[in-house]
Amino acid sequence: MDYSGRVNAKKGGGGVAGTEETNVHTRRRIKELLATQVLDLENDPYVFKNQLGLLECKLCLTTHVSEASYISHLGGRKHQMNLEKRKVLDEKLNHKQSKNISGLSITNTPKRSWVKIGKPSYKVTKVRDPETLRVGLLVNVKYPQIGELEPRFRIMSYYELTSKNQNVATSFIHREASKADVEKCQYLVISGEPYENLCFVIPGDREISKPDDMFEMSDTYWWYWDKDTKEYFLQFMYGVK
């Protein structure tokens, strides 16, 4: 705008524009933007119409009453700065994803699914160490049609179970042993696809004698998979009271 020749303006400098002149300049600028840019709502990822028919910018969280107002916003400083920030975040995200291509992550690990064929046959035996007189359990499970290399097991607490399994465990314990405390019990889960998982309720008032590393075995805590007979053995002993 030409601010020369205004009241209170210095020679060679611009004076203060009035309201009418500012409005004229704004309308002229919007007219030029509409002539040079065409708003494509379908291809613009950041604009959408809300329930009131107003245009909203998802990137800047601003609302605009018309297409001209939104086009004017596109050329503004706020929108351009947010575009640069979004570009930097996208580059960081793509860099992290490229690093995880060869590894395992939640996003690129496919969900496993299989048709369950029922529960395997099992046997639980109480055992006692003849030297230390410590008691324990020996679990024997048969998997004649197992589809993986070896079954897996895990000893879980009540709080590690899902809400659905917590309800199942509560109803089972109250039905079989009403005096037992559900939250103090432990749960031995053995999995071997395509069979259903087996869950055994273990008293939690006594600590199981096992190594600090969950993948190590000892004389009182061991497991064995017989590939020929397709039988899985797991034994653990309780510590001394």
Q: Does residue 86 share a domain with residue 154? A: no
Q: What is the pLDDT of residue 217?
A: 85
Q: What is the pLDDT of residue 37?
A: 61
CB atoms within 10 A of CB 57: 19
pLDDT digits (tens, 9 = 90+) for 37-49: 656 667 788 888 8
Angle at the Cα of 147 from the Cα atoms of 141 and 148, rounded to 5 degrees: 80
Q: Does residue 139 share a domain with residue 48? A: no
Q: What is the pLDDT of residue 146?
A: 86
Q: Does residue 138 share a domain with residue 94? A: no
Q: What is the pLDDT of residue 130?
A: 84
Q: What is the pLDDT of residue 68?
A: 77
- For the chain, which ranges sit under pLDDT 50? 104, 106
pTM of the model: 0.49
CB atoms within 10 A of CB 31: 11
Residue 8 falls within a domain, yes or no? no
Q: What is the pLDDT of residue 17?
A: 67
- What ranges make up the beta strands (E) of the chain? 47-49, 55-57, 62-64, 122-128, 135-142, 152-157, 186-191, 198-202, 208-209, 221-226, 231-238
Specify the DSSP element, H or E, that contains 91: helix 77-99
Domain range for 25 is 19-99
Q: Does residue 163 share a domain with residue 95? A: no
Q: What residues pair up with 198 in beta bridges, in sequence order?
A: 190
Residue 13 falls within a domain, yes or no? no
Listed in sequence order, the residues at least 6 apart from 74 whose beta carbon sits closer than 8 Å to its beta carbon are 37
Token pair 């020369």: residue? 4
Q: Does residue 229 share a domain with residue 136? A: yes
Q: Does residue 158 share a domain with residue 93? A: no
Radius of gyration of the chain (CA): 35
What is the number of alpha carbons within 13 Å of residue 111 lying toward its C-beta?
1
Distances 5 to 11, 14, 23 between C-alpha atoms, Å: 8, 8, 19
How many structural domains comprise the chain? Answer: 2
Residue 109 falls within a domain, yes or no? no
Q: What is the pLDDT of residue 140?
A: 92
Whole-number Å distance between alpha carbons of 141 and 199: 12
Q: Does residue 233 share a domain with residue 127? A: yes
Q: Among 67, 99, 131, which residue terminates a domain? A: 99
Nearest to 145 by CA among 123, 121, 124, 125: 121
Residue 132 falls within a domain, yes or no? yes
Cα dihedral 89→93→95→99 (10° resolution): 160
Asked if 135 contacts 211 with a C-beta cutoff of 8 angstroms, the reply is no
Q: Does residue 203 share a domain with residue 161? A: yes
Q: Can you give the CATH number for the domain in which 176 is found? A: 2.60.40
Q: Does residue 129 share a domain with residue 68? A: no
Residue 145 falls within a domain, yes or no? yes
Residue 10 falls within a domain, yes or no? no
Q: Does residue 150 share a domain with residue 223? A: yes
Whole-number Å distance between alpha carbons of 32 and 169: 71
Q: Does residue 156 share a domain with residue 62? A: no
Residue 7: both structure tokens together? 């009241």
Listed in sequence order, the residues at least 6 apart from 135 whose beta carbon sits closer than 8 Å to its beta carbon are 126, 127, 128, 129, 237, 238
